[in-house]
């Protein structure tokens, strides 16, 4: 088994483990569809934080000029990706979280902040938060080890997470709507877990130097080397 296959199976194993933890929460701890959606939204936050770390690491490897560029582009990424993630969270909270969050959900930041607070104050949800975080940390360390010989420039890293996050965003909305139409909360939540697991398994085959999707990888002039881990 080559290095790429080994890491791909590690990613898939962690994805399955995270799905099992969330499924346990649904079946045993009575987590709702909204809690499941909030957990998967939280993954986007983790991806964003780790992507900033990637940009800074590449900048440090390039020296003083690289550090300045990484800080500048990293700051722009924090604002742009942060607003994107907050908007995503606000929409999910408006669509699926009104009953559990209670009261009105005004503005852009309040719904996302209340969803995050709702998730992190659930003692049992920490197991799922940990599993989801470990999955992304594993992807990060895979990138750290393999990016030394063929690093992606900082601008490429800045764009890298968006393809995955946009697809996940659509998956969560469609899955959440289907779960609501089923009118069977447990079945709906498990269906959402299954959709996310399929997404993660497919994404594990798409990963190139971290979290690049095929379309982005092909846009890199070094795409002939992009399939290397």
pLDDT along the chain (229 residues), means of 10: 70 85 90 89 92 91 88 93 90 85 77 85 78 84 74 78 82 84 84 87 61 38 35
Q: What are phi and psi of 121, to 5 degrees?
A: -85, -5
Other CB atoms closer than 10 Å to residue 174's CB: what's the count? 12
Long-range CB pairs of 118-126, under 8 A, 24+ apart, other chains included: 118/38, 119/35, 119/38, 119/39, 119/42, 122/35, 124/25, 124/29, 124/31, 125/25, 125/31, 125/35, 125/39
pLDDT of 208:
41
Q: Model-level pTM? A: 0.78
Q: Can you tell me the distance from the alpha carbon of 158 to that of 181, in angstroms, rounded to the nearest whole number?
A: 37
pLDDT of 61:
86
Q: Can you tell me the distance from the alpha carbon of 67 to that of 228, in angstroms, rounded to the nearest whole number?
A: 26
């Amino acid at each position: 088994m080559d290095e790429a296959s080994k890491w791909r199976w590690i990613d898939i194993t962690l994805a399955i483990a995270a799905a099992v933890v969330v499924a346990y929460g649904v079946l045993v701890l009575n987590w709702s569809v909204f809690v499941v959606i909030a957990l998967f939204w939280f993954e986007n936050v983790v991806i964003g934080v780790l992507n900033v770390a990637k940009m800074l690491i590449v900048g440090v490897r390039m020296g003083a000029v690289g550090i300045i560029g990484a800080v500048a582009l990293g700051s722009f990424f924090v604002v742009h990706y942060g607003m994107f993630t907050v908007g995503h969270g606000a929409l999910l909270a408006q669509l699926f979280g009104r009953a559990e969050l209670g009261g009105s959900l005004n503005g852009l930041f309040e719904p996302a902040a209340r969803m995050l607070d709702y998730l992190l104050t659930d003692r049992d949800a920490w197991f799922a938060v940990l599993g989801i975080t470990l999955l992304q940390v594993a992807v990060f360390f895979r990138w750290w080890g393999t990016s030394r010989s063929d690093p992606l420039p900082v601008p490429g890293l800045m764009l890298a997470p968006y393809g995955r996050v946009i697809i996940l965003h659509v998956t969560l909305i469609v899955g959440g709507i289907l779960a609501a139409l089923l009118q069977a909360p447990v079945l709906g939540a498990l269906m959402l877990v299954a959709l996310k697991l399929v997404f993660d398994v497919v994404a594990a085959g798409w990963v190139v130097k971290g979290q690049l999707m095929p379309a982005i990888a092909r846009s890199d002039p070094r795409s002939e080397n992009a399939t290397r881990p």
